[in-house]
Amino acid sequence: MIHYIHSIELVPYHYLATHSTFSAEMREVYIEDTYFPWKELTISGLAELEESVEQSNGVNRFTLKMTATVPHCAFYRLPEERLLWRLTDSHGTEWLLGAPRREFLPHSVLTRALPGKSSDTSAMTLTVSLTSTLPLLQIVYI
């Protein structure tokens, strides 16, 4: 069970392509305990995660959507590469949003909102979404 998400990190997907495999139940991802250039993203507060499942013709399709508020200084654009996202919850459990296969790569959008009133605060919102046959995967290091 996932708890509050307090840490988000990103990595280009190709780093995990040859160093990870899925469990038989497709609920966990096994990652070799190798150095990967995870980049921690500073977030304001906690990230929000929505997960829904729809069954059609005996196949489960999961829709995952993670939203986080990031400070303006974090970055102004996303890297050109396709990204995978490591989420850490309040119990220290790590989760992978997406997987290093083309059909499991999430879509990432960074939105900058400038308010119309000076009393409101400006913010940047990161939204990462994925619809696939994979749920959010718990990371297990091997």
Q: How far apart, in Å, do the first and last CA atoms of the chain sit?
A: 21
pLDDT per residue as tens digits for the range 26-43: 889 999 877 889 999 989
3-state secondary structure (DSSP) of residue 103: helix
Q: Token match 């305990």: residue?
A: 33
Task: Summarize pLDDT for 108-137 with one digit per residue, the tens.
Answer: 998 887 778 877 777 889 999 999 999 999
Tell me the residue type at 1: M
Closest Cα to residue 76, out of 128, 6, 126, 5?
A: 126
Which one has a higher pLDDT value, 99 or 33? 99
Instruction: Tell me what pLDDT residue 116 has.
Output: 80
Res 76 pLDDT > 70: no
Q: What amino acid occupies position 6?
A: H
Q: How far is CA 14 from CA 71, 82, 108, in A?
A: 27, 8, 16
In this predicted structure, the answer to whether residue 70 has a pLDDT above a threshold of 70 is yes
pLDDT confidence of residue 113? 78
Q: What is the pLDDT of residues 57-69, one digit of tens each?
A: 999 999 999 999 9
Q: Which of 43, 51, 39 has its CA nearest to residue 138?
A: 51
Please give the single-letter amino acid code of residue 4.
Y
pLDDT > 70: percent of the chain:
96
